[in-house]
């Protein structure tokens, strides 16, 4: 059994296979965990700066987490600290009796991108943005926020987004597509708008609603239905502070190039009639 502690609850986990953002995790040894700012965030220890601290006690064992350091006192009062960033909770498992959450093994990294849409009917289009973020390993959240049907929810979402750690918002909407623009007016974050094609028109209504923003409130608008590009643009924005994402983007672009070159070669070999026939 391994243990991950959050201030309000203690998680007992079968083995310390805990995952943290940035793929940082874990010692192999049971009952040890890596404390990191992300860990702290995951636990709501502190929307917290690196140095914020939280503590709790369980059956006489007290824990203090402060940034990337952790001290563990066992019941006998012996203090343990292994090294900056690590603690070993050797006496902890036996003492645990607090909330047991099996899902603790699935500690989610904080979302960097918020994907929102005016209706669940937009989801078949907006899922492409989520797929891209998954491909690049970018943490995201996804939900429905309607500018017209849930205006108060929209205001709250947009005004708190940057405080919650989001760095980019992707907003999709169809018809009178006011969501991206209104969200952009309420947040300092970059907003990427996805015009969704409705049933009544070809999507031009959504495109113009999203793209024709007044000076001062930009929305980066992608093509109608093109949530894929919204995801890719979000990755590129995040790449400004992540060399790893830049490398992944270069790989992705290389993949596109190879795909096209392969198609061109095949087309040239087969001739266009046979190529088309084989595509059907
Ligand atoms: C917009 O109205 C939504 O973004 C959606 O594209 C459109 C239709 O919504 P539903 O009637 O399908 O919920 O606000």
Q: What is the pLDDT of residues 153-207, one digit of tens each?
A: 999 999 999 999 999 999 999 999 999 999 999 999 999 999 999 988 999 999 9
Whether 19 contacts 106, CB under 8 Å: yes
Mention every residue, 6+ apart, whose C-beta is less than 8 A from residue 197. Answer: 125, 174, 203, 206, 224, 225
| Interval 242-258: pLDDT, tens | 999 999 999 999 999 99
Q: Which ligand 1 atom sits nearest the alpha carbon of residue 118?
A: 4
Q: What is the mean pLDDT of residues 51-67?
A: 31
| Ligand 1 centroid – CA 170 distance (Å) | 16
| Ligand 1 centroid – CA 184 distance (Å) | 19
Q: Which ligand 1 atom sits nearest the alpha carbon of residue 147?
A: 14
Q: What is the residue with the minimal CA distance to atom 3 of ligand 1?
A: 118
Closest to 72 in 3D by CA, of 20, 28, 35, 17: 35
Q: What is the mean pLDDT of residues 109-119?
A: 96
Whether 189 contacts 167, CB under 8 Å: yes
Q: Is the pLDDT of residue 105 over 80?
A: no
Q: Is the pLDDT of residue 125 over 80?
A: yes
């Amino acid at each position: 059994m391994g243990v991950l502690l959050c201030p309000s609850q203690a998680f007992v986990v079968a083995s310390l296979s805990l995952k943290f953002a940035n793929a940082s995790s874990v010692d192999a040894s049971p009952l040890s965990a890596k404390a990191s700012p992300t860990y702290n965030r995951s636990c709501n220890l502190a929307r917290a700066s690196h140095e914020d601290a939280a503590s709790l006690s369980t059956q006489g064992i007290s824990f203090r987490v402060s940034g990337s350091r952790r001290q563990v006192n066992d019941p006998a009062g012996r203090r343990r600290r292994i090294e900056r960033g690590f603690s070993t909770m050797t006496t902890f498992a036996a003492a645990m009796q607090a909330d047991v959450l099996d899902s603790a093994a699935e500690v989610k990294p904080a979302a960097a991108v918020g994907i929102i849409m005016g209706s669940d009917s937009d989801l078949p289009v907006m899922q492409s943005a989520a797929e891209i973020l998954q491909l690049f390993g970018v943490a995201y959240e996804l939900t429905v926020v309607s500018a017209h049907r849930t205006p108060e929810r929209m205001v709250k979402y947009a005004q708190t987004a940057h405080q919650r750690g989001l760095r980019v918002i992707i907003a999709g909407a169809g018809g009178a597509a006011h969501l991206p623009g209104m969200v952009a007016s309420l947040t300092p974050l970059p907003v990427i708008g996805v015009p969704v094609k409705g049933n009544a028109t070809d999507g031009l209504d959504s495109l113009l609603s999203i793209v024709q923003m007044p000076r001062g409130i930009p929305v980066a608008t992608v093509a109608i239905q093109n949530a894929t590009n919204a995801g890719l643009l979000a990755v590129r924005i995040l790449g400004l502070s992540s060399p790893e994402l830049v490398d992944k983007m270069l790989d992705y672009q290389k993949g596109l190039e190879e795909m096209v070159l392969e198609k061109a070669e095949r087309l040239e070999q087969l001739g266009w009639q046979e190529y088309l026939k084989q595509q059907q």
